Amino acid sequence: MKIHVFIAHMGIGGAERVCVNLANEWADKGHEVHIVVLNLKNDIYTKDLRSGITVHELGVSRLRYSFVPMLRYVRKNKPSFMFIFGNEMAVIMNKLKSLHLVNTPLVVRVLNNVNISLDKEDGISPIVEEYLKKAQSNLKSVEHIVAQCEGMGKQLTDKGLVVPERLSVIYNPVSRELCDKVTALRGSRPDSGIKEIVFIGRIDPQKRPLDLLEAFAKLYKNNKDIKLRLVGDGVLTDTVRSKADELGIVDSVIFDGIRNDMENVYSGADVVALSSEYEGMPNCLIEAIGCGIPIVSYDCPIGPSEIVVDNVNGYLIPKGDVDALAEGLQKALDKPWDWDSIIATCDKFDVKNISDEYLHIFKSISVDK
């Protein structure tokens, strides 16, 4: 089977890691995989793709300029279906279909919330943003929609944005290769006596990093043998640095920026923490439990409640309760966790089974079936 995957870029991000995991699994199963991106600026993940996977650049800087290049690609390559990551790219392809310029079936993996600002389109004008938001309501006409979790699927159906018969809930996959690397590295690392809490993601308002910083400061008052590692970057990075200085913890907060060696990040983590306002299906939590690392997360909409198994792989915290977040982090640091039990909670995120679920959908809608 030829699988054509459309994704905006291959830079840092959860969707990009999901794309790599699925593409590699399909390639390992003997399928021909093509990945179509706007450009390879800030590329991080193509190096992790199997050698037989082909990456195509559309040669544009933003999604708004991709109408013609996407049309050219489809007409030249004649895919029997297209697998699309992201609401905005799906809107563009669906527009081409509504104009009868293409008739290729679409499978769309939606993002975490169809009502959030289209923040990945930096500098987008209010007029264009409003158009894209309205156009998303037309996505129910596409052949198949994939939600990343049950909560997302319910949100889509409750809002009437999908036809239930064309909706599947498929969890994000975890890479067993990553987990194996982490296990090997962890076994070779000496015990420094320092416990490390790790945050992975954009340092922006959605993730509420200041909540996590304040919770960490509460722990630090009574325990100086802890560190907080922030892996990522964003509009609040400087604000978080200043707040760490103000709280007197700046020397114990590590600002890593963007990293592409996640096996080293996870192998040094004692707890992975998330303090988000909202989510979709946070990959950092899934990857953490796949590596045997306990997780502590706000019970935000949507996703964490379908990952966290209380007192087995971590703790769910009422959203916005910084004191409870601090208590949960302390409990996670103190508890003698059973790694095997944590890893067992990740079975439903196994990439082999999840990749097969997608293949079943592809086969059902392909024009070449």
Neighbours of 270 (CB within 10 A): 17
| pLDDT at site 122 | 42
Indicate if the pLDDT at residue 171 is higher than 90. yes
Per-residue pLDDT of 264-313, as tens digits, reads: 999 999 999 999 999 888 999 999 999 999 999 999 988 999 999 999 99
Lowest mean pLDDT among 119-123, 144-148, 275-279: 119-123
- Residue 114: which of 338, 301, 324, 295 has the closest Cα? 301
- The sign of the CA dihedral 263, 268, 270, 274 is negative
Lowest mean pLDDT among 99-108, 138-147, 282-291: 138-147
Instruction: Enter the DSSP assignment of 173.
Output: P
- Output phi, psi for 313, to 5 deg: -125, 5
260 or 288: which leads in pLDDT: 288
Per-residue pLDDT of 12-70, as tens digits, reads: 778 899 999 999 999 999 999 999 999 998 888 899 999 999 999 999 998 889 999 99
Grade residue 176 by pLDDT with cuts at 50, 70 and 90: confident
The CATH architecture annotation of domain 2-173+350-365 reads 3-Layer(aba) Sandwich (3.40)
Pick the CATH number of 176-348 from 1.10.150.20, 3.40.50.2000, 3.40.50.280, 3.40.50.300: 3.40.50.2000
Q: What percent of the chain has pLDDT over 70?
A: 92
Buried b / exposed e across 91-112, counting CB within 10 Å, b at 16+?
bbbbebbeeeebebbbbbbbbb
Q: What are the sequence ranges of the domains in the chain?
A: 2-173+350-365, 176-348
Lowest mean pLDDT among 107-116, 199-208, 352-361: 107-116
Indicate if the pLDDT at residue 118 is higher than 60. no
Amino acid at 310: D
- Residue 140: which of 158, 127, 121 has the closest Cα? 158
pTM over 0.85: yes
* Range 195-217 average pLDDT: 95
Q: Is residue 365 within 8 Å of 143, Cβ to Cβ?
A: yes
| pLDDT at site 141 | 84
Q: Is 325 exposed, middle or buried (0-12, 13-18, 19+ CB in 10 A)?
A: buried
Q: How many residues does the chain have?
A: 369
End-to-end CA distance of the chain: 10
